[in-house]
Amino acid sequence: MRVLILSTSIGTGHVRAAQAIEAAFKSQYSDVLVRHEDSLSFANAAFRKVYQQTYIDLVANAPDLLGLAYEYADRDWDKLHYGMAFERLNIGKLSQLLKEFKPDAIVCTHSLPADMVSWLLCRKEISCQLAVVITDFDLHAVWLCHHYSRYYVAIDETKEHLVELGFERSRVVVSGIPIDPIFAQAKDQRQMRIKHNLVPELPTIFVSAGGVGMGPIEQILEQLRKLHEPSNIVVACGANSELLDKVRCAAERHDDSQHSISGIGFTTEMDEYMVASDLIIGKPGGLTSSEALAKGLVSVIVRPIPGQEERNADHLVEEGVAIRCNNLPVLAYKIDALLNNSERLKTMRGHASALARPNSAAHIAFDICQLIEANQPVAVHPVDHVCERDWRDTFA
């Protein structure tokens, strides 16, 4: 079997999801040739820079505008967001890869390559199974493809959403969002605290700035110093070395504090820090939230990005695994209240563990092998089959 996994390097979640599926294949199926590629690496440099930088700039400087664009584009089968011509103008190199590698299945963890592959299937330029992995808890219309074999979704509600839109129930699988298989390994909390130089007896709060290292981390840290009870505070700064320096300098300035504050940069031991923790503070990205659930962590959601993170937040709060802090000045108050209510915290951690799907990547890898062996025809969604037209018709 030959499996091609296509991610898109916009943010880090889509790539991490792809890496998780790749790891699951390599650890369990030695007879499967699996290859992971960034779909943007096949686009021209100008397109790649605009695609990546526009998102980062909007997140950093105009999140409300990003939210408006997200809501505007969420219109089922609207050709304004489906199969845009500028995407298909960059499809040449990717098409060549597919024809040379000849995959039995293509797994997409971002809507951009999913749309491209669906279009190539429609034009009969390739022949293979197409699996689409949605990396948030909610469904956005940009993920809709006319040609598909599987959709892998996080929760039952998202499956029902797709079914209501006319997708075949048997082809929509509630797998959870794929996370690194290491998150399925059981580890001891006390041992992890000792290993990472945390005070074993203290509650531990994990602050996540995401893979890129964004958000009001300094303000969050300032509020956490006001917690009544001594705590371990770990701040994960991702790839943002400047933020890491600020966190470490702040910790040194307050080394007489009752709290133990530490900053970490990029790490391959994220699962261990989560095991050591009781709470996670940050934005509810699909991957980070799924990792936290796998370790039974309660989330404290701060300033989610309008759009997909707002919707993720809604689902997490609805499931009883998260609280929201819309006003940073009351962050310490809300966390104190949660830590002082051991029954509530225990209940929420139980809900998190129940919602978790730590073996999601393995589930997806197994199902894709079954899909290839079954060799069923790719499904076609019948509504407004835009992709059969020439790309120039997008402007017609």
Name the residue among 238, 236, 177, 208 with its Cα closest to residue 302. 208
Position 49, amino acid = K
Close Cβ partners of 161 (under 8 Å, ≥ 6 residues apart): 139
CB 53 within 8 A of CB 22: no
Which residues on adjacent β-strands are paired with residue 302? 325
| Average confidence (pLDDT) per 10 residues, the chain, 396 residues | 94 92 95 94 78 77 83 70 52 85 96 89 90 96 92 97 95 97 96 96 93 84 92 91 87 76 91 96 94 97 92 96 95 95 96 96 97 91 59 43
Q: How far apart are CA 18 and CA 370, in angstroms?
A: 19
Q: What is the pLDDT of residue 344?
A: 96
CA distance linking residue 135 with residue 281, whole number of Å: 20
What pTM value is reported for the model? 0.91
pLDDT of amino acid 81 = 45
Phi, psi of 109 (to 5 degrees): -105, 15
SS3 169: helix
282: left (phi over 0), alpha (psi -120 to 50) or beta: left
State the alpha helices, DSSP H only, in 133-284: 156-164, 189-195, 217-224, 241-253, 270-276
Residues in the chain: 396
